[in-house]
Chain A
């Protein structure tokens, strides 16, 4: 019996004409680790909701075909029944916790299964240890950060040890370390308990190496169902936006087959002799000249800063220190990434720089207006129509003029992001733009669009500061990376230097190449490898 089976399943949301899923037929066997991906609005989340029984029981709409979860047909069994065999984690962790404390949240699904008090206590303890959240057990959920909430919600989904786990972008709010740990935990549960995993993820580089199969959805249809390496080959031909950085690196270097992860990529490079005899960072000067020329501008005097702060500290009312003596200066046109683990103080720093919060100590100076795009673009949308939010000229600038009469809640995530960016950038040109996790839940095409817009802003002299966990975005956009830890800036260096030398705070390209040439992007890495191959091929 399959852990999950779709048989010619189609589904249309109420009030919509186009089906969200069309004729999906796929089976996930017990003990399989399956990743599902696709561009935005391709039907991934709907597929997961169908597997958990929310579609159609909770959302209504028209469905045909059948979905069987652990032997239970979703036509006869609702989400409550399916919860006995499937644990589900949806996208927004904020609405994924229902109790007041972490301990109660983890106990909740176990109590609902009628377990004894001792079994509930053991289950809570075990899942808390598994996900490293034991220290949070007594904390009220109101006090948790987004990353912590996500881990707690995952714990609640896994607590009853379901035979199938359904996860919708569980790493979207996690820093690289926590994200990697989470994927490893899922793999461990998969291997040790035989739990089948269906994981929806945009950042394929994080999870592809662990996957047995990859499903690709496009416009509600299942267009690829293959092992990771084959899927990458398919993506190169049909949907290049789904290629991982390592796959793009190989493509640019003319190597085959595309690797599913860092280990496989390094093994291939080693077999070609492309990782031998090159000490880390010794080819970097040629690899990223753009970074270096832009970086040199940092040496200019502080009075030319677009935005700066001195001695910035921030304490919470309970005395907890969030920022400690932060010194920062952004030059006009400079693009900087602000990185650090969850809870390091990134969002707080952005809010203080934009004047939303007051620092406990220290001073912020800016050349002009400071625009801030907060994490959730939907928070900016308060009118009944898109054209109520901004003027027609801004809508045209951001390619949204066709949506002028739509309700802001009815437009896609990427369109909302553009609209929110249009709102904060409308009017007088800001001297600095700050963005807080702008690529959460974004596919690579939307990310590319965002990068182009930020490059245009930067070219016009606006300083850009992006708080992000996305190392690929940082490498593609920024010339400089600030690493925040414990409320202090612990590293402030060119992007290539920060993102090529580490393991967690490093791009996949840098991890594949082991820091060679400080190459961080597939383009830089591809050039480096081609150069090496040319040298080796020369007589």
Chain B
């Protein structure tokens, strides 16, 4: 990442291992619905973010995710008719048919909500710790055109966002406030979109002027050896991936929402969840301790 010598382990490590680490956490949330596993991944994600000093980015993402997750929980509770614990029986409704609110549907809805929050938080951690410039640099070696498109797109997001913000401010400077409602919004969107082509051409011109299209390969043997931070994060990422594969292959942390919620909660699951947290936080904790010494 964009890190100097004073930054934390996850920000110092090379992008490839950070990406592996982040993807492993996201993969856990995608592969498991077991509440213990999800809570463990949440603890690991927020712990890693705090130890890396990127908790602010995570908080922003979670703030965005919570309304979405709550909506998902409510929709699941209302629309899913599975489950045996009926809380409220609405009877037969046109179009919907038999509508019952069940405890299992609501519980599973909230679990899905937790899962969404964890996925978004882990993705936010991934974005915060991976240096996109480094990723593009590596991509360029194998997929020049894709990397060019990605470089242009990543830069354009920032440029167009700022264009839109400035144009919105300019709209508010009009004596009539620039109007309101859908028409004003459409005008703004249309205007930003119309300018996008010019902006893209300018950014592409800059890429040309910096010699992107005629890139010469770096000299052989110019690779950087793995530093302590790289090794620490790689070890954590490999540990997480090993746990993930083991859990999936051996069917650990089993969870069945319907017809009655069945959650496996013996020592194996507890140990599994604890190992996830330990593997994830090993790099930031041990790496920092080793550095202070």
Chain A residues in the interface with B (C-beta under 8 A): 52-54, 58, 78-81, 83-84, 88, 90, 92, 94-101, 103-104, 108-109, 111-117, 137-142, 156-157, 160, 351, 354, 356, 369, 371-374, 376, 378-383, 409, 420, 423-424, 426-428
Contact = CB atoms under 8 A, between A and B. Distances in A.
Interface stretch (B41-49, B90-98, B168-176): B168-176
A139 B199 CA distance: 23
Contacts of A98: 151, 155, 203, 206-207, 210, 212
B205 A114 contact: no
Interface in B38-81: none
Contacts of B207: 98
B218 A111 contact: yes
12 contacts: A78-B213, A79-B209, A84-B211, A104-B2, A104-B131, A108-B212, A112-B214, A113-B216, A117-B224, A142-B158, A424-B173, A427-B175
B188 interface: yes
Given A83-B211, A99-B133, A379 B206 contact: no
A108 B216 CA distance: 12
Given A112-B216, A382-B190, A80 B172 contact: no
A221 B29 CA distance: 65
Contacts of B212: 80, 98, 108, 112
Contacts of A423: 174
Contact of A92 (B134, B174, B202, B216): B202
A428 B206 CA distance: 43
B224 to A, nearest CB: 6
Contact of A101 (B2, B195, B217): B2
Chain B contact-residue range equals 35 or more
Nearest to B170: A379
B210 A112 contact: yes
Contacts of B251: none
Contacts of A97: 155, 206
Contacts of B169: 351, 356, 374, 379
A100 B214 contact: no
A420 B2 CA distance: 39
Given A54-B208, A117-B222, A380-B170, 18 more contacts: A53-B208, A79-B208, A94-B162, A95-B206, A100-B131, A100-B133, A101-B133, A109-B210, A112-B210, A114-B218, A116-B219, A138-B4, A138-B7, A356-B172, A371-B173, A374-B166, A379-B167, A424-B175
B249 interface: no
Most buried by A among B171, B212, B224: B212
B3 interface: yes
B173 A83 contact: no
Given A138-B2, A140-B2, A426-B175, A95 B202 contact: yes
B257 interface: no
Nearest to A87: B209
A109 B137 CA distance: 12
Contacts of B188: 382
A424 B174 contact: yes
